[in-house]
Amino acid sequence: VRRTRVSHGQAVAAELLYVPAASVPGLSAIDAPAGPARARAVLRELQRLALDGQDRSVELGSARADDAKELDRLPGAPVLVVTTRYFTAAGTAAVSVATYRADTCRLTFGDSGDVEITHEARVAS
């Protein structure tokens, strides 16, 4: 599932969500729709799962060509890559790789270990 996160009308992140077929057994290849309708169906099925937790990593990276185009940046521009793994009792339910524009977000680390990503609209001067 691919989606774009938008803040104040500006694309701030391009996200890819990888979902193993075993995580959404209610969707068969025969019955499931294609394109955006399939993505919505996968997300609905994931919401039905009882998640046991998640882990998250954040790293500095360079925008790949497809992400750069989606984020209105040049290829190789600095980005923050946030990888989140979602777990159930059976194992990994999904993995999200979100590429954030480094010039529009701030990471805040709390005492609980949670990471908050804040998007800021910046105007070039």
124 — pLDDT class (breaks 50, 70, 90): very low
Does any domain span residue 124?
no
Residues 64-121 pLDDT 10s:
999 999 999 999 999 999 999 999 888 888 899 999 998 887 777 766 656 566 666 5
CATH of the domain at 113: 3.40.1410.10
> Does 62 map to a domain?
yes
Q: Structural domain of residue 59, as residue ranges?
A: 2-119
Residues composing the chain: 125
Number of domains in the chain: 1
- The answer to the question of residue 26 being in a domain is yes
Please state the rounded mean pLDDT for residues 32-60. 82
Q: What angle do CA 81, 82, 88 make, to 5 degrees?
A: 145
Looking at residue 23, its pLDDT comes to 81
Residue 125 belongs to a domain: no
Segments of 1-125 assigned E as strands: 2-7, 10-18, 53-62, 78-88, 91-101, 105-109, 115-119
- Cα separation, 29 vs 26, in Å, equals 10
